[in-house]
Amino acid sequence: MKALETFDVFTKTAASLDWLAGEIKEGAVREFVKNARDLAGIYADEAALQRMNPNRVMYRVRWIEPALPGSEGGLFWGVTIIEPGQVGDEYFMTHGHFHANRTRAEFYGTAHGTGMLVLMNKERKTWTEPMKPGSLHYVRGEYAHRVANTGDKPLAFWACWPTDAGYDYEAILLRGFGARLRCRDGKPVLINND
């Protein structure tokens, strides 16, 4: 009985990756897609967002859940692919969130493309880490995190996070990050938002 359970869990959680392409080739893959319409309130230039096709895909997340969401001690594994583009002078970026459980950290590792990881602590101090193929980023549990694609090709990064990290999107929707990453003379510049 025990052996069968182990086998079931293994077959359900086994997956195969194309590391450099940022693809989960096999496995019980879940996906969410964020279209332009899903990102209302995130960009400074809301009018520019409204002018876009609401169905335009901005980014997608694919992941596997080898353990139950909310359970203690497990890990999720996923990839986020952000399309290239801008809304006003800001780059296509993830919504950004704190983990609901502020003690739960996360790893990001870039597969391809270039971007910026934007981090913010609870005092709203905001800074960036450049992302490029092979760059590995440790996000402390208490930091809000968001990724912007600053290149002209899709940006794909792997992520590993605890099953009981949860998401707190609310705080970001209300006040955003302490600074915005804006395109100035073709380069990403972090500009105070508070």
Positions that interact with ligand PAN (CB under 6 A) = 61, 78, 80, 94-97, 106, 145, 159, 161, 165
Tokens 């760059």, located at residue: 135
Name the residue nearer to ligand PAN (CB basis): 129 or 187.
129
How many angstroms from the chain centroid is the CA of residue 20?
A: 17
List all residues 6 or more positions away from 61 whose beta carbon is below 8 Å from its beta carbon: 31, 32, 78, 79, 80
CB of 96 to Zn ion, least distance (A): 9
Using CA atoms, how far apart are residues 30 and 27, in angstroms rounded to an integer? 9
DSSP reduced 3-state for 27 = coil
Minimum CB distance to ligand PAN, residue 53 (Å):
19
Is 22 or 96 the residue whose CB approaches ligand PAN more closely? 96
CB of 144: closest distance to Zn ion in angstroms?
9
Residues that bind Zn ion (CB under 5 A): 106
For ligand PAN, which is the closer residue by CB, 158 or 182?
158
Looking at beta carbons, which residue is closest to Zn ion? 106
Q: How far apart are CA 181 and CA 116, in angstroms?
A: 9
155 contact choice in ligand PAN, Zn ion, none (CB below 5 to 8 Å, kind-dependent): none
Cβ atoms of residues 82 and 154 within 8 Å:
yes
85: tokens are 């583009």
**For residues 165 and 182, which CB has a smaller minimum distance to Zn ion in the complex?**
165
